[in-house]
Amino acid sequence: MGNTSSMLTQYDIEEVQQHCNNAFSQQEIVSLYERFCQLDRNGGGFVSGEEFLSVPEFAVNPLSQRLLTMLDGLNFKEFVAFLSAFSPRATVQQKIEFIVKVYDSDGNGKVTFNDMLDVLHDLTGQFISEHQREQVLTKVLEEAGYTKESLLVMSDFVKILGSSGLKMEVEVPVD
Amino acid sequence: MSSGKGGELIPSSSELDLDRPNIEDYLPSGSSIHEPVGKLRLCNLLDISPTLTEAAGAIVDDSFTRCFKSNPPEPWNWNVYLFPLWWCGVVIRYLILFPVRVIVLTVGWIIFLSCFIPVHLLLKGHDKLQKNMERALVELICSFFVASWTGVINYHGPRPSMRPKQVFVANHTSMIDFIILEQMSSFAVIMQKHPGWVGLLQSTILESVGCIWFNRSEAKDRETVTKKLREHSQGVDNNPLLIFPEGTCVNNQYSVMFKKGAFELGCTICPIAIKYNKIFVDAFWNSRKQSFTMHLLQLMTSWAVVCDVWYLEPQNLRPDETPIEFAERVRDIISVRAGLKKVPWDGYLKYSRPSSKHRERKQQSFAESVLRRLEEK
């Protein structure tokens, strides 16, 4: 592969493992490193947005742009930490935290009506009008006991999503 | 495996889309299978975990990148006993075999050029004789190339007969595919125009066997290319066309989707399957990683290039088949014979982004389920 530092030492692996709170096994981290180097074609030490978009399965995903703002410029340690929410060892709490981060565009821990509207727009595209989207969101929010002005935080999401059996796991292929 | 008829091939005006059967048939999808029911609640709108899981799955591993991963032979030199043996091997390959091969290739070129140039210039008037001699000479230089990598090629199946209205298609791993097939029988090929010495060869010598050039950017103007193909295949005295419908080099473990151009010419399609034995060398030309020169040098410093070539039974378009289905059927035949796994991606995605139609299909299906559940009590 011939990138900068294409060899991971045992020390590196342990450091990454600690950083992601043991979400992945050492073998999985080695596999993820191979994958990271494969994606990082110009060897810059991080994977750029363009390089992520060169994976067609990722590029066709409706949330790819939102995820790119979170993924752009991450080094390998941060990349593994990003993926840790998808490990089978991650708790429901960690998964919900990740979902909140996707919604919370200004990073202040509070999800506004507009944040939710934006994500809904990504998921539905041109197939629902802007007006209809607002209507639907307002209706289900009010039925759940919130209003348009409500600012949802982590505990709200736990209440809303925690009971629905969140399935959010990927398998890291290990040779 | 047949792609669904009727409802699943969504009619669309986008050119790229007409090339593909329904991708959803192939992609791993947990979310698009189960249809959510029941009244729409807040958790249904806010739960983006299926979409996120698909994205993360693609980040961690995806079938498209796997098609273009080089697979070098397993290193076996990892202990005190094997290492000196391997080292002897390196010495033999680089210091003995390589110079011999360079000599063989040089001799071949000298013979070729000293025959080709006179034939090309002097026999201008005698078309048929000139063509036959040039064809024989091109076959000769290809044999020299193959010898220069110590090519061990097993040809299976009946040698292709030269009949009109016949087109050959094969899976594509490297430009040496063309050389390997050309040494057995003379083909005309349609190729991407390359820069450098390869381009020079293309415009001089390969002209004589009748080749068609295109540029990938021009390939979007499918009509020009299809017209050239049709003209060539109708011509009586032309060499049969060899087409690589994948459009790009793939790593000989997977096959990407076949472009339908070759399959709508109204000709019989003769599939050829090529499989390289990767114990000896990885013959995949990873054009993103090496130039063709480096690739050839790599082949010339390996022990041998061992491969199997199967000439398979000619196929015709069935009355109830579209060209896309025909292309998929032939891809299936070739992939089974050569032991390749099929992926639903267009090889040109190496150079461009997927059409937005795929994302829109997902968006549409989610939007419809939201609106439907809104009505339920």
Q: DSSP per residue over A70-103, as a string? A: HHTT--HHHHHHHHGGGSTTS-HHHHHHHHHHHH
CB contact under 8 A, A161 and B362: no
Question: Which residue's entry shows tokens 């249809």?
Answer: B35
Q: How far apart are CA B246 and CA B233, in angstroms?
A: 19
CB contact under 8 A, A125 and B55: no
- Nearest CA to CA, how far is A11 from chain B (Å)? 23
Number of domains in chain B: 1
Interface of A with B in 5-64 (CB under 8 A): 32, 35, 38-39, 41, 52-53, 55-64
* Length of chain B, in residues: 377
Picking from B43, B65, B360, the nearest residue to A160 by CB comes out as B43
Neighbours of A93 (CB within 10 A): 11
Centroid of chain to Cα A127: 25
Confidence (pLDDT) at B338: 94
What are the residues facing B166 on neighbouring strands? B268
Contacts with B343 from chain A: Cβ below 8 Å: none
Picking from B44, B55, B61, the nearest residue to A63 by CB comes out as B55
Cα dihedral B43, B44, B48, B49 sign? positive
Q: How far apart are CA B290 and CA B302, in angstroms?
A: 16
CB contact under 8 A, A56 and B288: no
pLDDT beyond 90 at B274? yes
Q: How far apart are CA B314 and CA A10, in angstroms?
A: 55
Q: Lowest mean pLDDT: which of A96-100, B216-220, B334-338? A: B216-220
CB contact under 8 A, B362 and A62: yes
pLDDT beyond 80 at A3? no
Tokens linked to B129: 């004789």
Residue B249 belongs to domain spanning: 152-348
Is B2 contained in some domain?
no
- Nearest CA to CA, how far is A44 from chain B (Å)? 16
Q: How far apart are CA A52 and CA A63, in angstroms?
A: 13
List the CATH code of the domain at A10-89.
1.10.238.10
Q: How far apart are CA B135 and CA A130, in angstroms?
A: 65
Q: Lowest mean pLDDT: which of A170-174, B145-149, B163-167? A: B163-167
Interface of A with B in 115-174 (CB under 8 A): 116, 119-120, 123-128, 132, 136-137, 139-141, 143-144, 146, 157, 160-161, 163-164, 166-173
Picking from A61, A120, A127, the nearest residue to B54 by CB comes out as A61
Confidence (pLDDT) at B377: 64
Inform me whether the C-beta atom of residue A109 falls under 8 Å from chain B C-beta atoms: no
Out of 3.30.590.10, 3.30.200.20, 1.10.238.10, 3.20.20.80, select the CATH number for domain A90-163.
1.10.238.10
Q: Which helix (H) or strand (E) holds B78?
A: none
Question: Which residue's entry shows tokens 């202040």?
Answer: A108
pLDDT beyond 70 at A49? yes
Confidence (pLDDT) at B1: 34
Torsions phi, psi of B212, nearest 5? -115, 130
CB contact under 8 A, A61 and B51: yes
B297 burial class (0-12, 13-18, 19+ CB within 10 angstroms)? middle
Picking from A35, A61, A173, the nearest residue to B55 by CB comes out as A61
- Nearest CA to CA, how far is B252 from chain A (Å)? 18
Confidence (pLDDT) at A64: 93
Q: What is the pLDDT of residues B297-315, one digit of tens each?
A: 989 998 899 999 999 999 9
Q: Lowest mean pLDDT: which of B19-28, B195-204, B332-341, B348-357? A: B19-28
Residue predicted with more confidence, B227 or A134: A134
Give residue A105's pLDDT band: very low, low, confident or very high (50, 70, 90). confident
Is B76 contained in some domain?
no
Chain B residue with CA closest to A159: the answer is B43
Interface test with A, best of B22, B46, B360 (most A CBs within 10 A): B46
Which ranges of A1-153 does DSSP label H, i.e. alpha helix?
10-19, 26-39, 49-53, 56-59, 64-71, 76-83, 92-103, 113-124, 130-143
pLDDT beyond 60 at A148? yes
CB contact under 8 A, A56 and B345: yes
AA letter at B103: I
Confidence (pLDDT) at A150: 87
The answer to whether the A10-89 and A90-163 domains have the same CATH topology is: yes
Confidence (pLDDT) at B43: 86
Picking from A62, A95, A161, the nearest residue to B359 by CB comes out as A62
From the list A29, A30, A73, A34, the residue with the least C-alpha distance to A51 is A73
The whole model's pTM is what? 0.81
Domain ranges across chain A: 10-89, 90-163
Torsions phi, psi of A63, nearest 5? -100, 15
Residues B15 and B357: beta-carbon distance below 8 Å = no
Residues B32 and B22: beta-carbon distance below 8 Å = no
Residues B45 and A120: beta-carbon distance below 8 Å = yes
- Nearest CA to CA, how far is B331 from chain A (Å)? 21
Picking from A60, A83, A116, the nearest residue to B359 by CB comes out as A60
- Nearest CA to CA, how far is B322 from chain A (Å)? 26
Q: What is the pLDDT of residues B27-65, one digit of tens each?
A: 544 444 455 677 888 888 888 999 999 999 999 999 898
From the list B233, B241, B244, the residue with the least C-alpha distance to B266 is B233
What percent of chain B lies above the pLDDT cut of 90?
31
What's the N-to-C CA distance of chain B in angstroms?
Answer: 40
Torsions phi, psi of B315, nearest 5? -125, 150
Report DSSP letters for B32-88, one per residue: TTS---S---HHHHH--HHHHHHHHHHHH--HHHHHT---PPPP---STTHHHHHHH
Confidence (pLDDT) at A117: 93
Interface pTM (ipTM) of the complex?
Answer: 0.92
